[in-house]
Amino acid sequence: MAVTKRAGRKKDAGASKQAAAGGGGGKGFSKKAVFETTKKKEVGVSDLTLISKISNEAINENLKKRFENGEIYTYIGHVLVSVNPFRDLGIYTEQVLESYKGKNRLEMPPHVFAIAESAYYNMNAYKENQCVIISGESGAGKTEAAKRLMQYIANVSGGSNSSIQEIKDMVLATNPLLESFGNAKTLRNNNSSRFGKYLEIQFNAQGEPVGANINNYLLEKSRVVGQIKNERNFHIFYQFAKGAAQNYREMFGIQQPQSYVYTSKSQCYDVDGIDDLAEFNDTLNAMKIIGMTQDEQDNVFRMLSTILWLGNVTFVENDEGNAAISDQSVVDFVGYLLEVEPAHVNKALTQRVMETSRGGRRGSVYDVPLNRAQAASVRDALSKAIYFNMFDWIVMRINMSLKARGEQAHSIGILDIYGFEIFERNSFEQLCINYVNEKLQQIFIQLTLKAEQEEYDREQIKWTPIKYFDNKVVCELIEEKRPAGVFATLNDACATAHADPSAADNTFVQRLNGLSSHPNFAARQGNFIIKHYAGDVEYAVQGMTDKNKDQLLKDLLVLVGQSSNQFVHTLFPHQVDTDNKRRPPTAGDKIKVSANDLVATLMKASPSYIRTIKPNENKSHSEFNDANVLHQIKYLGLQENVRIRRAGFASRQTFEKFVERFFLLSPKTSYAGEYTWTGDYKTGAKQILKDTSIPAEEWQMGVTKVFIKTPETLFALETMRDRYWHNMAIRIQRAWRNYLRYRAECATRIQRFWRKLNGGKEFIQWRDQGHQVLAGRKERRRYSLTGSRRFMGDYLGIANSGGPGEVMADSISIRGEPVLFSCRAEVLISKLGRSSKAEPRTLILTKKNVYIVKQAMVNKQITILAERTITLGAIKFISCSNLKDDWFSIGAASPQEPDPLVHCIFKTEFFTHLTNASRGTFELKIGPTVEYNKKPGKIATVKTAKDPQVPPQQDLYKSSTIHTSAGEPPNSVSKPTPKGKQVAAKPITKGKLLRPGGPGGGPSKLANRPKPTPPPAPAAAAQPRAMPQPVAALSNGHSRTASSSSGRAPPPPPPPPGPPAAPKEPTFKALYDFNGQTSGELSVAKDEVILILQKENNGWWLAKRMDGSAQGWAPSAYLEEVVVQAAPKPTPPPPPPPTSRPVPTPPNGAAAAAAKKPAPPAPPAKRPAGRKPIPPPAPRDSGYSTAESGASNGGGGGGGASMAGGLAEALRARQAAMNKKDDDEDDW
């Protein structure tokens, strides 16, 4: 098996064939051959493992080509590299999303949807938790990738009930809500995530989302109180200030962003591509979807207002040089918002409570005034604490709404966190962010580089080691306690000099000298440098110890504890414990715990990776900065990843898991879906790979695992496994469909028999009513009394949809009008200066009118016109003769037009339908003459006469006299309906279900199966389809039975051998090749001699081969009886000369028969060898009748001629007679 590409995972009809010898598992449907004119030509390679030269520069060049061509995604094996396009490429539409459903990553171009599909599929198929780790620097597109992952998973995951849909809606609603409170504009990114989040979507065993949970990390709370120029505070402040409702403006005093210090310091109020008003509406809508009540929303906006007004509290120096409030009204309003006394706010912002202790006992308590800088610091600390705690509350509230609604089986996690940051001034926030990124890089290295190579060594797999940079030493530099790392040193400095922040910073600088020997650390002029995997970063020490303490003064905790607002107590739940002397955890401690918990969570899941790259610093959609991108390629380790992916194995599974997954693919490990392997798992895995014909170079067996080299091989195995269940389902469906078909055919046969027995009674009733209408006053034609005659009514199909009937109905505008009768007819036309002549017309009867329709040339085109329209109420009488002719007049008594004199072969049926439609309002005049108004108001009569010279099928009109032959007596009635001819029973299957033994005792669809038993009786044999016979076959197709002879001719010297025994059945030779199409038909070759067991009149004979090996039905038109001249009787000595030696006779018994008769009859004339059977005659459409039987020309000829056919022949004969006779004189 040459494995090339895995087919899709779709389980619907049209899926691909299994990979077979010499071919891959590609899809076998016509879509592959469609020429896609709109498909863009691929530039570069879509998978970096395919580049010819592995280098950072080659990777950079390939990414640049694809970026310039609008292709931002590229693979490195299963890792997706994404370059931020800084524009909408239209690649996240619903149509694009649908195209990735059920596809593996090789079937479609690289895309974030393919990563989402792979994670979702692997979770369901392998029952493992999945996670997607998105990494890259700020502005590289991590948040957008996370949103697209959520979009795809919400769309593709199953479940249609309201609970599951509600979970999906809430998961998607977390994006605008958290972006508003956690994102901000920076110099590098207009929508930069200033926090990290790990969204875990929880699924049940059916792959339906039942809940979700969000963990947030590293909110940049310092942004609340200050930003550098051209950056902004968090989006929510600008959204609220610009779009707050009037009641909020009155209740909370909200003004425009320019009115607040916290939103105006950076002098940036608007951002390109961001509509604060529209996004504020999205935020409010997301709050509703999450389930936040109106009171909760009001409290959130109250806290936002508190922060904005706190920023406007300013301080001045009093006479003692201490801080004093410059505008007491602002403090009063802050007290109103916090629902505390303004005096308490004033005291908390300008004074600090100091407590002395002696020997472990509480000492004196002093109120120490603060200077302006200290007071501003306290104010900012309160603002940051309120916002930080409120953000945590929002995440907690979201998690409450997203709590799992059912049993959780597995999950998919999406990590969207800060990218690596290097600014001109990097402080404690950047240290924490870069530390977390180092931890994530360590996971990537651990799982894709280090762990993979270590596993190859453990499993004794042939492998060429790849060198890479292990950033574990950088992580240890930051987080280790012994020897003390950066965080431990920072904690010591905070603990030693906790009273004075500047003194603590100096202590920190001094203690950092102990790390100078580390290869990834360097001290520089009061700052320090850490050599990260992404580059060297210099960190400023100033203020770092104060930020690490992350403590809210007890005075502020006392202040918020005095609030009468319950929501404030929810944000600050901890009571002040003045007796607790233990050092609270620092910000560094907290981020270490969070980072290690995150790593532990990610290590429990099967990871997928998205490595995002920022092409330029100007947010341009066309600029590609080679130097910047090359730097990102290096620190992301893409080159090492390419090398390992090219040399490594795409998949590895334990023997047990591999066998459990793929045991269906080997007949030695499974039977009918049951696991039957009794050996060890390793041998079972080898057996499966052997039976699936996977090439040996595509896999290796380790100590405990089987390793698959390329993803194409794994996809092929998965496809074969999917196809196994698909094929089993097809077999069940086929059996069920056969059963349903069998039932349907049985029902059809019963219905057909019922219709044959009871169907058409209405038409017979119309026919019998016709006898009552005539009341025994008119002679009848023999054809109208046949048992098969039915009054069908609309013979031309005027009321049908489609065909000539519809065209005629549209032409005379009677579409939709119920048609009772239609037939071809003739109308006697009288013109000045010439004799009357019958011209063809169409007679139509509806429930309202009688229409006489003709075809005329209008503008050199044949046009259908309604020549005469007679309402049923205007018909006074119908006049016809008492002979069997077909002429009658319609007495309309019109003052403008004459009465039409019509010739119609279905006159009695017309009378019957007209009687019922008009409810007998006209008089039916039957007598020796036909009366009509030849001119308006002028009564004329047409005589009738019997003329034996007129053919029985014709009527002759000449000189106002109708000549016709004698008919049946007037009191004649229709003959009984003829019974059908007894024919051999046909099988129910009609050639579809070919042998008995199917569902419910019915036939089963197993074709071309040889019959081991002797043939059944002829009556039960399968009756093949009717086939037209050549003329020669009709004349020469008689059978001739040869009689057996026991006597022998007198033995001549030397005695000749006796003739073979004559067969009991007649023998026939095939004139042409015949290939049987069903199991009941016997295939014969030209000139093959066969035996005939039974002859049927339908053109098929039951035949058997001479050796008795097979029998079946064969067309008689293809056969010719074998008649052999009897061998000449040998004469006693002398023996006959060589030229007159007897010709060997075929074993047909003809010689034996000839021995009894001195002069055998002459054989029938043979047909030419090259003659083919004539095609069946074209069906004759007379437009008159579909009745059966009824022979023409006196009843001779073929028995298959229909009544309508005979009538049509009679009309043609009559027309010929009319054309031959001389025109009579005009009788005007």
Angle at which helix 486-496 crosses helix 587-603, to 10 degrees, equals 150
Work out whether strand 410-416 and strand 130-135 pair parallel, antiparallel, or are unpaired.
Answer: parallel
Which of 74, 138, 713, 915 is catalytic? The answer is 138
pLDDT value of position 1171 = 41
Distance in angstroms (rounded) separating the CA atoms of residues 1021 and 1018: 5
CA distances from 61 to 140, 286, 1070, 1125 (A): 18, 42, 76, 93
Distance in angstroms (rounded) separating the CA atoms of residues 843 and 825: 6
- For the purposes of burial, counting CB atoms within 10 Å of the CB of 255, is it exposed (0-12), middle (13-18) or buried (19 or more)? middle
Residue 90 is among the residues annotated as catalytic for this protein:
no
pLDDT value of position 575 = 59
Determine which of 393-402, 793-802, 1168-1177 has the lowest per-residue pLDDT on average.
1168-1177
The mean pLDDT value for 628-638 works out to: 91
Q: What percent of the chain clears pLDDT 70, i.e. is strictly above it?
A: 79
Q: Assess whether the region 761-978 and the region 1021-1037+1060-1126+1146-1174 belong to the same CATH fold.
A: no
Tokens of 468: 């890479």
Angle at which helix 235-243 crosses helix 294-311, to 10 degrees, equals 100
pLDDT value of position 47 = 87
The mean pLDDT value for 566-583 works out to: 75
Give the other-Cβ count within 10 Å of 367's Cβ.
11
Residue 192 is among the residues annotated as catalytic for this protein:
yes
Q: Report the run of H or E that residue 288 belongs to, with start and end.
A: helix 276-290
Which of 26, 196, 211, 419 is catalytic? The answer is 419
The mean pLDDT value for 877-885 works out to: 94
Distance in angstroms (rounded) separating the CA atoms of residues 263 and 239: 11
pLDDT at 1210 over 60: no
pLDDT at 576 over 60: no
Provide the pLDDT confidence category of residue 581 given band limits of 50, 70 and 90.
low
Instruction: Name 649's Cβ contacts closer than 8 Å, sequence gap at least 6.
Output: 456, 461, 700, 707, 708, 709
Tens-place pLDDT, residues 1103-1118? 998 888 888 888 888 8
| Segment of 80-89, 632-641, 1171-1180 carrying the highest mean pLDDT | 80-89
Distance in angstroms (rounded) separating the CA atoms of residues 1183 and 823: 7
Instruction: Name 1142's Cβ contacts closer than 8 Å, sequence gap at least 6.
Output: 1056, 1127, 1128, 1130, 1136
Question: Where are the extended beta strands (E) located within 284-392?
Answer: 315-317, 323-325, 351-358, 361-369
DSSP 1221: S
Tokens of 537: 């970063």
Residue 143 is among the residues annotated as catalytic for this protein:
yes
Q: Which amino acid is at 431?
A: L
8 A C-beta contact, residue 549 and residue 330: no
Distance in angstroms (rounded) separating the CA atoms of residues 1089 and 1119: 9
Determine which of 308-312, 638-642, 1179-1183 has the lowest per-residue pLDDT on average.
1179-1183
Residue 193 is among the residues annotated as catalytic for this protein:
yes
Q: Which amino acid is at 604?
A: K
Distance in angstroms (rounded) separating the CA atoms of residues 933 and 935: 5
| Cα 331 from chain centroid (whole Å) | 64
Q: What percent of the chain clears pLDDT 90, i.e. is strictly above it?
A: 43
Provide the pLDDT confidence category of residue 458 given band limits of 50, 70 and 90.
confident
Work out whether strand 79-83 and strand 606-613 pair parallel, antiparallel, or are unpaired.
Answer: parallel
Which of 49, 186, 193, 822 is catalytic? The answer is 193
| Cα 905 from chain centroid (whole Å) | 58
Which of 8, 139, 211, 1112 is catalytic? The answer is 139
CATH number 1.10.1040.10 given to 428-601: no
Bridge partners (DSSP) of residue 131 are 413, 607
Determine which of 307-316, 415-424, 852-861, 1191-1200 has the lowest per-residue pLDDT on average.
1191-1200
Distance in angstroms (rounded) separating the CA atoms of residues 867 and 576: 109
Pairwise pLDDT comparison (650 vs 1013), residue with the higher score: 650
Instruction: Name 677's Cβ contacts closer than 8 Å, sequence gap at least 6.
Output: 659, 663, 668, 669, 670, 684, 687
Which of 107, 220, 279, 421 is catalytic? The answer is 421
Fold of 651-709: Alpha-Beta Plaits (3.30.70)
pLDDT at 151 over 90: yes
Determine which of 572-586, 881-895, 1047-1061 has the lowest per-residue pLDDT on average.
1047-1061
Tokens of 168: 């999906």
Which of 62, 157, 192, 586 is catalytic? The answer is 192
Q: Report DSSP letters for 618-647, one per residue.
A: S--SS---HHHHHHHHHHHTHHHHHHHHHH
Determine which of 159-173, 873-887, 953-967 has the lowest per-residue pLDDT on average.
159-173
Q: What is the CATH number of domain 761-978?
A: 2.30.29.30
Distance in angstroms (rounded) separating the CA atoms of residues 1054 and 1134: 10
Annotated binding-site residues read 136-143
Provide the pLDDT confidence category of residue 583 given band limits of 50, 70 and 90.
low
Q: What are phi and psi of 415, to 5 degrees?
A: -100, 115
Pairwise pLDDT comparison (1214 vs 1117), residue with the higher score: 1117
Which of 124, 129, 143, 964 is catalytic? The answer is 143
Provide the pLDDT confidence category of residue 725 given band limits of 50, 70 and 90.
confident
Instruction: Name 45's Cβ contacts closer than 8 Å, sequence gap at least 6.
Output: 51, 62, 74
Residue 139 is among the residues annotated as catalytic for this protein:
yes
Tokens of 20: 């077979």
DSSP 405: S
Determine which of 314-328, 828-842, 889-903 has the lowest per-residue pLDDT on average.
828-842
Tens-place pLDDT, residues 5-37? 344 444 343 333 333 333 333 333 233 333 344
Distance in angstroms (rounded) separating the CA atoms of residues 216 and 397: 13
pLDDT value of position 987 = 59
Q: What are phi and psi of 458, to 5 degrees?
A: -65, -40
CA distances from 1204 to 294, 883, 906, 1139, 1180 (A): 85, 22, 11, 61, 9
Distance in angstroms (rounded) separating the CA atoms of residues 620 and 532: 27
Bridge partners (DSSP) of residue 523 are 528
Instruction: Name 899's Cβ contacts closer than 8 Å, sequence gap at least 6.
Output: 889, 890, 891, 892, 893, 932, 933, 934
Instruction: Name 498's Cβ contacts closer than 8 Å, sequence gap at least 6.
Output: 504, 549
Cα dihedral 740/743/747/750 (nearest 10): 160
The mean pLDDT value for 381-406 works out to: 94
| Segment of 152-156, 917-921, 1223-1227 carrying the highest mean pLDDT | 152-156
Determine which of 111-115, 180-184, 507-511 has the lowest per-residue pLDDT on average.
507-511
pLDDT at 1061 over 70: no
Classify 509 as helix, strand or coil.
Answer: helix
Which of 189, 383, 719, 989 is catalytic? The answer is 189
Provide the pLDDT confidence category of residue 420 given band limits of 50, 70 and 90.
confident
Provide the pLDDT confidence category of residue 891 given band limits of 50, 70 and 90.
very high
Distance in angstroms (rounded) separating the CA atoms of residues 820 and 826: 19
pLDDT at 241 over 80: yes
Fold of 1021-1037+1060-1126+1146-1174: SH3 type barrels. (2.30.30)
DSSP 754: H
pLDDT value of position 1066 = 82
Mean pLDDT over each residue of the chain, to the nearest integer: 81
Residue 82 is among the residues annotated as catalytic for this protein:
no
Query: What are the extents of the domains in the chain?
Result: 428-601, 651-709, 761-978, 1021-1037+1060-1126+1146-1174
Provide the pLDDT confidence category of residue 1034 given band limits of 50, 70 and 90.
very low
8 A C-beta contact, residue 1189 and residue 786: yes
8 A C-beta contact, residue 915 and residue 773: yes
Annotated binding-site residues for ATP read 136-143
Instruction: Name 1169's Cβ contacts closer than 8 Å, sequence gap at least 6.
Output: 1071
Pairwise pLDDT comparison (1193 vs 539), residue with the higher score: 539
Residue 138 is among the residues annotated as catalytic for this protein:
yes
The mean pLDDT value for 331-350 works out to: 94
pLDDT value of position 721 = 87
DSSP 974: P
Helices (H), 480-525: 486-496, 501-512
Q: Work out whether the CA dihedral 837, 841, 847, 848 comes out positive or negative.
A: negative
Which residue's structure tokens are 């010591």?
Answer: 492
pLDDT value of position 20 = 34
pLDDT at 955 over 70: yes
Distance in angstroms (rounded) separating the CA atoms of residues 281 and 276: 9
